[in-house]
């Protein structure tokens, strides 16, 4: 499993600062550590 460039990902929930992110992409939901997320380049499409 991986996240390909250009895929839209939605943050469903986030834990305490430095905690885990609960993300969604299409039908897939997954968790990602902040350390891993920090390695990704992102563009905000629509802030909530």
38/20 Cα distance (integer angstroms)? 12
Residue 11: which residues within 8 A CB-CB, separation 6 or more?
21, 22, 23
Strands lying side by side in the sheet with 20-25 = 10-14, 20-25, 28-33
Distance from the Cα of residue 14 to its chain's centroid: 9
Q: What is the pLDDT of residue 3?
A: 78
The model's pLDDT over 1-48, given as tens digits with 9 standing for 90+, comes to: 677 888 888 999 988 888 899 999 889 999 999 888 888 888 888 766
Residue 20: which residues within 8 A CB-CB, separation 6 or more?
14, 31, 32, 33, 34
Q: What is the pLDDT of residue 1?
A: 63
Model confidence, pTM: 0.74
């Amino acid at each position: 499993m991986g996240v390909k460039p250009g895929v839209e990902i939605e943050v469903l929930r986030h834990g305490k600062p430095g905690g885990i992110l609960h993300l969604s992409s299409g039908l897939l939901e997954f968790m990602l550590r902040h350390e891993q997320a920090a390695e990704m380049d992102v563009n905000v499409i629509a802030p909530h």
